[in-house]
C-alpha cells in the first residue's frame, strides 16, 4: 500500500499539529520500538507495523463509507485491536469514541443516536447488543466484529483490513485540521444523561506536551492499558501519549488483575484510580500480617519510622540523622525488594486520580519509596489540569497547574480553569456548553477547592455533593468516606449520608478480597459478602473502624450509625459509575429503607 511507506519524518511527533500526523512521525522516527503488545507477546507490533495495520484498516473503513466528520463507536476491551481501529478511524478525519462495556442496549442506543454513529466496532461478547441497537438506530450502517467470524448483519475486521489497498490514507490524513474532533468522551452520567465532550486534535497535542514537562516520557516508555477506553484517563495516558512519545503499551487482558501484570511490564509510568492503591495497600498489609513475628515486627517498625520521615518532610521539618539512617537501611534491605516485587522499581512516576485518595494510602506508598502523586482533571480538560511533580509532591493536594493551565477559585469556592486543553464543547448541547464555559473561557468545574500559598490545589469535594445538615453546616462526604476507608481494609466502599439530617450515618460495603481472608483468620465460616455482612464479629470490626475514623473527624462530621450492606458494588452497576464514582442519588433511592432505619432507630 503506497500510504504505508514510511519516509523520513517531517519533525518531532511532539510538534505535530494533529494526533494523526504525530503517529506518522512516531512511526518514521521510531520504527523498531514496540508500540502495542500483550503480556505473553503473542501479539507485539512495532510502531512501523502498527502504522501499516492502521492504514490497512483505514482504507477498509473508507471503502465502507467512513469519512472526515463521521463518528464511529468502539466497544472493545483492552486489546491491541483497539489501538489499530481507533487510530485508523482518526486517520480518515472521523471521530472514534468508546462505549463502556457494562452499558445495556438502551444506554448504547442513546450514545449511538447522540453521536450519530455510522459504524460500530465490537467484540463478539457485545455483538448481540449492538445488532439489537442497530434495529432502532437509523444512522448505524455497519457493525464490525474484531474477533472471529462475523454473523449475518455484521462484517469481520479481517475482511475490512486491507480491502482497499489503493486508498491514499496519508492524503486523507493531511486534510485533518487541529480543531477537528478526535474523540468524544461521554460523561458517566451521575447527574443525568451522559454529555458528549468533544476533544480536538489540538486539545490532545497541547495536553500531551504539558504532561511531558511534568513526567518525562521518552521513546520506549512503558505503560499498561487497563482502564476502559471510554475513560479519558485511559485514552490520554495509555493511548494518545504513547502514540506521541513512541511509548510501549501493554494491553491487560483482565483489568481486575492489573497489579499482576506490573512485574512483567515494569512500567515507567503507572496511573491507577484510588481503589487500586487502596486494595494494593490492603494486600501488602495482609501479607505482612501473615508473617511470623520475627519477620513482621522489623517491617512494622521500619514502616512506622518511614511514615514518620514522610510526615516530617511534608511539614518541611528537619529529619533527625538517626531516623534518616534507619529509614535508608530499611529501604535498602526491605522496601527496595517490595518495589521490585510489585513491579514499580523502574517507575519514573506513579499517579492517582479520578476520585479522592485517603492520605494514609499516599503516606504508605511514599514510605516504601513509591512517590504516589495525585493529579486532577476532567473529561472536559482532557483528563488533566493539575499534577504533583516527581520530587515535589504535597500529600493531600492534587498539585500545581500544568503548564499552560490557569486556575482560580470563584467566590463560592468552585474551581475555575482555562487553557488550550479545554474541550470544544458538548456535542449537540450548545446551552450546556455556554453554561459550563463563560465568555472569558473559564470552565466551571463543579469541584470546590482551595489554592495554597505555593499554588497547589486541594479539592474539597464536588459542589453538588456537599452535605448540608439540618443545622446548615457544610461538610465534604468525600473527606468523611476517605477517613472511613482508611480506617480498615475490611471496608471497600463507604457512603456518607447526612444532607438535611440531624447527624451523619453511612452505608458500608465490605472489601471483596480482604473481607473473606480476614473472616477465615477469625474462624468465621462462609466467604460470601452477603453472609459476612451479618456476622457480629464483622460488624464489630467495622464499628472499631468507624470509631477510628470519627477520632479524625470534627464532631459535626462524625458518624452516629452505620449499616453494612450485603453484597458487592461493581463498576457500571446500580451504585457505581464505570469509573467507580458513587451514584449518590440512585444509592439513596435503592437503600432508602436502610437509611431511614438508621434515623428512626
pLDDT for position 3: 43
Range of lowest pLDDT (240-244, 249-253, 335-339, 352-356): 352-356
pTM: 0.85
CA dihedral 219, 225, 228, 234 (to 10 degrees): -30
pLDDT for position 245: 95
Between 515 and 42, the higher pLDDT residue = 42
Q: Which residue in 335, 351, 341 sits closest to 383, CA to CA?
A: 351
Angle at 454 between CA 449 and CA 456, to 5 degrees: 35
- Domain 466-600 sits in CATH at 3.30.300.30
Q: Which residue in 365, 370, 374, 394 sits closest to 307, CA to CA?
A: 365
Average pLDDT value for residue range 528-545: 90
pLDDT for position 146: 96
Q: Which CATH number fits domain 17-267: 3.40.47.10, 1.20.210.10, 3.40.50.12780, 3.40.50.300?
A: 3.40.50.12780
Q: Say what percent of the chain tops pLDDT 90.
A: 70
| Tens-place pLDDT, residues 57-96 | 999 999 999 999 999 999 999 999 999 999 999 999 999 9
* Helices 293-314, 274-289: inter-axial angle, 10-degree rounding: 140
Angle at 190 between CA 512 and CA 83, to 5 degrees: 75
Distance CA 248, CA 258 (A): 16
- Residue in this structure with the C-alpha cell 482560580, named with its chain if needed: 408
CA dihedral 501, 504, 509, 515 (to 10 degrees): -160
Average pLDDT value for residue range 178-197: 85
3-state DSSP call for residue 190?
Answer: coil
pLDDT for position 4: 47
pLDDT for position 200: 98
Does 572 have pLDDT greater than 70?
Answer: yes
- Residue 527 φ/ψ, nearest 5 degrees: -120, -10
What average pLDDT is seen over the chain?
91
Domain locations along the chain: 17-267, 374-465, 466-600
Across 1-133, the runs of DSSP E, i.e. the strands, are: 34-37, 44-46, 71-75, 95-98, 119-122
pLDDT for position 227: 92
For the chain, give the longest Cα–Cα distance.
75
- Domain 374-465 sits in CATH at 2.30.38.10
Amino acid at each position: 500500500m503506497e500510504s504505508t511507506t514510511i519516509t523520513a519524518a517531517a519533525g518531532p511527533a511532539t510538534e505535530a499539529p494533529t494526533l494523526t500526523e504525530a503517529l506518522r512521525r512516531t512511526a518514521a522516527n521510531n520504527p523498531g520500538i514496540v508500540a502495542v503488545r500483550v503480556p505473553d507477546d503473542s501479539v507485539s507490533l512495532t510502531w512501523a507495523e502498527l502504522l501499516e495495520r492502521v492504514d490497512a484498516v483505514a482504507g477498509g473503513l473508507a471503502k465502507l463509507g467512513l469519512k472526515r466528520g463521521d463518528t464511529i463507536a468502539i466497544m472493545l476491551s483492552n486489546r491491541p485491536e483497539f489501538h489499530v481501529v481507533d487510530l485508523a478511524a482518526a486517520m480518515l478525519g472521523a471521530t472514534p469514541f468508546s462505549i463502556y462495556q457494562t452499558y445495556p442496549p438502551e444506554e448504547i442506543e442513546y450514545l449511538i443516536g447522540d453521536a450519530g454513529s455510522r459504524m460500530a466496532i465490537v467484540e463478539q461478547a457485545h455483538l448481540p447488543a449492538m445488532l439489537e441497537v442497530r434495529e432502532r438506530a437509523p444512522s448505524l450502517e455497519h457493525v464490525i466484529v474484531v474477533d472471529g467470524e462475523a454473523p449475518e448483519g455484521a462484517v469481520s475486521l479481517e475482511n475490512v483490513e486491507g480491502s482497499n489497498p489503493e486508498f491514499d490514507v496519508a492524503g486523507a490524513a493531511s486534510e485533518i485540521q487541529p480543531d477537528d474532533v478526535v474523540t468524544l468522551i461521554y460523561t458517566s452520567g451521575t447527574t443525568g444523561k451522559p454529555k458528549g465532550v468533544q476533544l480536538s486534535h489540538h486539545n490532545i497535542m497541547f495536553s500531551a506536551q504539558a504532561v511531558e514537562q511534568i513526567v518525562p516520557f521518552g521513546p520506549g516508555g512503558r505503560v499498561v492499558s487497563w482502564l476502559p477506553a471510554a475513560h479519558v484517563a485511559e485514552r490520554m495516558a495509555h493511548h494518545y501519549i504513547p502514540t506521541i512519545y513512541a511509548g510501549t503499551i501493554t494491553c491487560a487482558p483482565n483489568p481486575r488483575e492489573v497489579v499482576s501484570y506490573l512485574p512483567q511490564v515494569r512500567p515507567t509510568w503507572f496511573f491507577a484510580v484510588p481503589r487500586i492503591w487502596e486494595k494494593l495497600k490492603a494486600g501488602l498489609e495482609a501479607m505482612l500480617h501473615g508473617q511470623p513475628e520475627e519477620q513482621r515486627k522489623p517491617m512494622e517498625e521500619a514502616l512506622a519510622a518511614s511514615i514518620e520521615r514522610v510526615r516530617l518532610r511534608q511539614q518541611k521539618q528537619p529529619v533527625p540523622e538517626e531516623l534518616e539512617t534507619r529509614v535508608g537501611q530499611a529501604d535498602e534491605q526491605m522496601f527496595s525488594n517490595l518495589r521490585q516485587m510489585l513491579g514499580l522499581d523502574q517507575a519514573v512516576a506513579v499517579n492517582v486520580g479520578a476520585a479522592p485518595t485517603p492520605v494514609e494510602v499516599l503516606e504508605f506508598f511514599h514510605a516504601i519509596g513509591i512517590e504516589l502523586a495525585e493529579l486532577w482533571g476532567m473529561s472536559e480538560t482532557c483528563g488533566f489540569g493539575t499534577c504533583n511533580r516527581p520530587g515535589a509532591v504535597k500529600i493531600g493536594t492534587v498539585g500545581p497547574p500544568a503548564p499552560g493551565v490557569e486556575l482560580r477559585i470563584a467566590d463560592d469556592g468552585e474551581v475555575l480553569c482555562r487553557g488550550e486543553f479545554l474541550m470544544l464543547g458538548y456535542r449537540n448541547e450548545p446551552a450546556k456548553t455556554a453554561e459550563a464555559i463563560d465568555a472569558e473561557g473559564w470552565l466551571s468545574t463543579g469541584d470546590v477547592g482551595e489554592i495554597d500559598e505555593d499554588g497547589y490545589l486541594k479539592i474539597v469535594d464536588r459542589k453538588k455533593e456537599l452535605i448540608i445538615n439540618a443545622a446548615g453546616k457544610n461538610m465534604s462526604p468525600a473527606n468523611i468516606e476517605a477517613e472511613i476507608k482508611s480506617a480498615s481494609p475490611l471496608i471497600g466502599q463507604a457512603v456518607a449520608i447526612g444532607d438535611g439530617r440531624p447527624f451523619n450515618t453511612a452505608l458500608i460495603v465490605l472489601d471483596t478480597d480482604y473481607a473473606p481472608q480476614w473472616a477465615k483468620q477469625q474462624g468465621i465460616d462462609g466467604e460470601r459478602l452477603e453472609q459476612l455482612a451479618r456476622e457480629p464479629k464483622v460488624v464489630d470490626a467495622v464499628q472499631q473502624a468507624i470509631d477510628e475514623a470519627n477520632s479524625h473527624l470534627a464532631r459535626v462530621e462524625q458518624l452516629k450509625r452505620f449499616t453494612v450492606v450485603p453484597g458487592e458494588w461493581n463498576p457500571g452497576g446500580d451504585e457505581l459509575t464505570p469509573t467507580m464514582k458513587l451514584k449518590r442519588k440512585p444509592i439513596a433511592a435503592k437503600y432508602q429503607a436502610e437509611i431511614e432505619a438508621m434515623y428512626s432507630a
